[in-house]
Amino acid sequence: MSNGSTFPPHRRLRGTLVIALVALVVAGAAGWLVWRPLSGAGGEPSGAAPPGAAASGGAGGNSKESKEPKDPDSKGPKDHQAPPGGDSHKGNPHGSLKGKTVVIDPGHNPRNRDHAREIARLVNIGNERKECDTTGTATNDGYAEAAFTLDVARRTRALLQDQGAKVVFTQDGDRPYGPCVDERATIGNKAHADAAVSIHADGSGTGNRGFHVILPARVRAGAADTSPIVPPSRELGERLAGRFVAVTGSAPSNYVGGGTGLDVRSDLGGLNLSTVPKVFIECGNMRDAKDAAHLTDAQWRQKAARGITEGIADFLTR
């Protein structure tokens, strides 16, 4: 045979095919060994999610976020990344607050302006003495904070009652003035409230925008001892802030709280003298035109009431 081969042509061809097949198998195995360490448990290579999937959302991905989902009720700025105008919280169905008592404190009083001497008298708030009450602020067009707080409070009451809660008001436009800040705290204490929220709107400078929730500082002075209520009040405030931004679409304050939407104060009698979990919410700045446009809009006020309700409900059903 030619080329000195001792094998017939058909045997040489078969040998060549066997060698080629072995080489192909070895190459394929090597390729699989190189690819396998780069893939997740679900078989998709890291950084190459399947069509339509988020880069970090696949069940087999290596992203830390995909393994540790964020809790929408957890602390800090994550609460404030919720989409604006979100749906009503599904975790708080009708009747879920049965047996719970909530105190709603509409800030100020529409008739305080007619009782300047009475609301100017000083009352003891534990660590100092302050005015009984104030008139509150207003928008540049004259919409009073006291009218705003009553409207949102009444809307909030209706939503809370729909979920079965007992709601107690500190005032419902039925008093000549006040009540004083110390009495507002006493009303919540006597009701043995499971949660208390004082509703306000701020009167800061133009350009200062957004809401913030005021939490009690640790105060032990005179009749004030907030130590037992500081932790639950913070949780109430965090949940309230998280739901408020989700429902209203409002951003946390750009001038108080460092972007968290939370502020801690020791100079408010309504907090210092409370023995039940309590916070204040400043729903926006009435002196800023953009915030005022929301605060004067009835549909937005309904959203504000819903955000407050959902925050309270989240706290009470935790």
Helix axes 145-162 and 298-316, enclosed angle (nearest 10): 50
106 in helix, strand or coil?
strand
pLDDT given at position 94: 72
pLDDT given at position 134: 98
Burial of 90 from C-beta contacts in 10 A (0-12 / 13-18 / 19+):
exposed
Q: CA 307 to CA 314: how far, in whole Å?
A: 10
Q: CA 264 to CA 257: how far, in whole Å?
A: 8
Query: What is the β-pairing status of strands 195-202 and 278-285?
Result: parallel
**All structural domains of the chain with their residue ranges:** 1-58, 97-316
pLDDT given at position 4: 40
Question: Positive or negative CA dihedral for 203, 205, 207, 208?
Answer: negative
Q: CA 103 to CA 185: how far, in whole Å?
A: 10
pLDDT given at position 91: 55
| Tens digit of pLDDT at every position of the chain (318 positions) | 433 444 444 444 444 444 444 444 344 444 333 333 322 322 322 233 333 333 223 323 322 222 223 333 333 333 334 333 334 444 576 779 999 999 999 999 999 999 999 999 999 999 999 999 999 999 999 999 999 999 999 999 999 999 999 999 999 999 999 999 999 999 999 999 999 999 999 999 999 999 999 999 999 999 999 999 999 999 999 999 999 999 999 999 999 999 999 999 999 999 999 999 999 999 999 999 999 999 999 999 999 999 999 999 999 999
Answering whether pTM is above 0.95, one says no
pLDDT given at position 41: 29
Q: What is the DSSP secondary-structure string of 182-243?
A: HHHHHHHHHTT-SEEEEEEEE---TT---BEEEEE---EETTEE-TTTHHHHHHHHHHHHHH
Largest CA distance in the chain: 127
Find, among 231, 115, 96, the residue nearest to 161 by Cα: 96
The CATH code belonging to domain 97-316 is: 3.40.630.40
